Amino acid sequence: MMNQHERECSAIQLYLQGANLHNRDVFSKSDPMVVMEVCEMDSDILVWSEIERSEIIWDDLNPKWAKVFTLIYHFSHVQLLRFTIYDIDTPSTDGSYEVSKLRLEDQDFLGQTVCSLPELLHAAGQVVTKELKPFAENVSVYYSGCNSTGQGHHGSPGGAKLGLGHHEYLSSLSRTGTRKGAGPLGTLTIHYEEVTPQIHGKVKLQFCAEGVVPPQGRVGLSPFLRLCSSLASRNRLYLRVSRILEGDGTAPIFQTEVVEKDVSTVWKEITVSLQDLCGCDKQRPLRFECFSCNPFGQDVLIGSTDKSVNALEEALEHGKGIALSFPRSSSNNKRRKKAVTARVSGNTGMLFCMRYEFHSMSFLQYLSKGLEISFHVAVDFTASNGQPQRPCSLHYLDPQGKKNSYEQAISAVGRVLEFYDTDKVFQAWGFGARVASGMVSHCFNLNGNPYNPDVTGVEGILEAYSKALNSVSLAGPTLFAPVISTSSQIAEAQLREGRVKYSVLLIITDGIINDMEPTINAIVAASRLPLSILIVGVGAADFSKMVELDSDDGPLKCHDGRQAVRDIVQFVSMQKITNSHQLASELLAELPSQVVQFMSSGRLKVATAAACSDSS
């Protein structure tokens, strides 16, 4: 199983280019250098940290920096990027212009811009152009509810420590981002690429065999095998593909179905990840073995060959077959060995690769091609939470503004996911409450509108939740299946309409589930849809049954034998959580791989022309 770092992290490379920068020099042009900072939410305070500096481009107002900025992308964090451009005129204290030694407060400020990493990942063509400003926007534009502090030299004038050159220049800038009597500050274009995305690639293969020599009567087979082979004269064939290990051992990767031998034996198409096939090394040899299925005993090897993925591509490109040969005898009798080799070392048939397609799409590439994430929330309103008016209740709304566990979970997950949905229209439900009609509902719209569950943004969810506490009565029991089915219906409708959306349902509950079997059935059905389910347990209840739903050790199975096609559930208990950052990290750790797994099935299409490529 992948660890958390492998599941949610990718390396991003950024390429920067400035245009129409302001000229700070009198007798020449500005000498721009760019500084990149990153801000991540580790608490309620957002702190900027310098990551890297570019080289200096001398006398150029349209610089294209050669420096490649590398950044580790974390899906479960909100990462903001700040780029500050300086005109470098003052050397370091040792008289050099080595960028790492330059004092930024001694340089002239040219402009600054901020963007969120999700904004960049969703940009068309993996590129975004930002207008440079006298100081960047407050980060609350990107992340509401947090305080920002500008650290070091690069922040805004309201608290950052700035050099004289910076102060003097800021005093001459108007609020519109232009210098008095001059034009705009210019733009910064940011292009990104993901590092080695081919590990996520899927390979489609199809093979056929021609001219296969029947095994019966062949020299080198024991009398028993010769008899079995003659009885199995219909020659039902299959192909096995294996990795070659140290010491010439093998590890099977996949095996085709058994097909009746004909003039040309064609097996069905196989889809396998490039990682599983060859460890993403297309020069690594694989072993292809053709067997005759023997109903009376051991299957008979007809012939084999060792070829790499690159060799398969080349054979397909030139329409050539790959010769199968029978393995040499392992007899210790040298004279017998020579005789067997002479008679059976020739070709025993030809293997043809009919189809080879390599589709390499990572989570970030799906985002860049327009995939959005739709956020659904379901809140537990059963009586075991305690009356909301009492401070001991899990639903208690603190007049001082301290968030309860439900509010913490909604905020922690929602603040991350809302960056990946352009309209920020989310669906929110409650379950286990007695509603206005007097009936207990196991899926009611949190906003009080019986016809439409939509709310706008995380603040809309929190507002609807607060109002619902005053309009419904806590009841029970705790049933998950109705909200999972409702969320599944939305995901299925979006899939049917061809909308490039992947839904995430967050269920927050305090109690033991009372409809385990229907819930498992609903999850198994949902595993075929663009949907993942996050479950947060609040309070001190026994949540051991939830581990069964979070089926990390094997596919979730219904009582009738049906099983989930993929793992879509992640459970976290708030008892083990110390802050909202940790909660988001643990809940969202598997989501990128779950999205890629579904998208790789081909049921939801994105524009892949620019993203599908062969790795040579």
Tell me the pLDDT band of 199, cut-offs 50, 70 and 90.
Answer: low
**Among 115-119, 374-378, 466-470, the least confident range:** 115-119
% of the chain beyond a pLDDT of 90: 48
Answer whether residue 595 shows pLDDT above 80. Answer: yes
Tell me the pLDDT band of 534, cut-offs 50, 70 and 90.
Answer: very high
pLDDT 10s digits, 437-478: 899 999 999 999 999 999 999 999 999 999 999 999 999 999
Helix (H), strand (E) at residue 334: helix 334-344
Mean pLDDT of the chain: 81
- Give CA–CA dist 403/406, Å, rounded: 8
- Give CA–CA dist 18/14, Å, rounded: 13
Q: Is the peptide bond before 482 cis (omega within 30 degrees of 0)?
A: no
Tell me the pLDDT band of 79, cut-offs 50, 70 and 90.
Answer: confident
Strand 531-537, strand 569-573: pairing: parallel
Answer whether residue 208 shows pLDDT above 60. Answer: yes
Mean pLDDT of 327-353: 55
Answer whether residue 174 shows pLDDT above 50. Answer: no
- Position 42 scores a pLDDT of 53
Written as six digits, the tokens of 550 are 């979070």
pLDDT 10s digits, 345-355: 568 889 999 98
- Position 488 scores a pLDDT of 97
- Position 246 scores a pLDDT of 67
Answer whether residue 240 shows pLDDT above 50. Answer: yes
58 or 279, which is more confident? Answer: 58
- Position 144 scores a pLDDT of 47
Domains of the chain: 4-197 (2.60.40.150), 202-359 (2.60.40.150), 372-599 (3.40.50.410)
Q: Classify each residue of 78-112 as buried b or exposed e, where b means 16 or more C-beta atoms within 10 Å of its C-beta.
A: bbbbbbbbbbbebeeeeeebebeebebbbbbbbbb
pLDDT 10s digits, 300-313: 888 999 999 999 98
Q: Under a CB-based contact definition with an 8 Å cutoff, are residues 455 and 468 in contact?
A: no
pLDDT 10s digits, 128-146: 999 999 865 444 445 444 5
Q: Classify each residue of 570-587 as buried b or exposed e, where b means 16 or more C-beta atoms within 10 Å of its C-beta.
A: bbbbbeebeebbebbbbb
* Sheet arrangement for strand 9-19: 69-74, 9-19, 187-194, 127-131
- Position 328 scores a pLDDT of 56
- Position 522 scores a pLDDT of 97
Four-residue CA torsion sign, 608, 609, 611, 616: positive
Residue 219 carries which DSSP code? T
- Position 614 scores a pLDDT of 40
Q: Is 616 exposed, middle or buried (0-12, 13-18, 19+ CB in 10 A)?
A: exposed
Answer whether residue 109 shows pLDDT above 90. Answer: yes
Tell me the pLDDT band of 181, cut-offs 50, 70 and 90.
Answer: very low
**Among 32-41, 245-254, 506-515, 587-596, the least confident range:** 245-254
Answer whether residue 323 shows pLDDT above 90. Answer: yes
Mean pLDDT of 399-404: 93
Answer whether residue 219 shows pLDDT above 80. Answer: no
% of the chain beyond a pLDDT of 70: 78
- Give CA–CA dist 570/413, Å, rounded: 13
- Give CA–CA dist 593/144, Å, rounded: 28
Beta bridge partners, 305, equal: 288
62 or 125, which is more confident? Answer: 62
193 or 339, which is more confident? Answer: 193
CA atoms within 13 A on the CB side of 136: 29
Tell me the pLDDT band of 9, cut-offs 50, 70 and 90.
Answer: low
- Position 12 scores a pLDDT of 87
503 phi/psi in degrees, rounded to 5: -95, 145
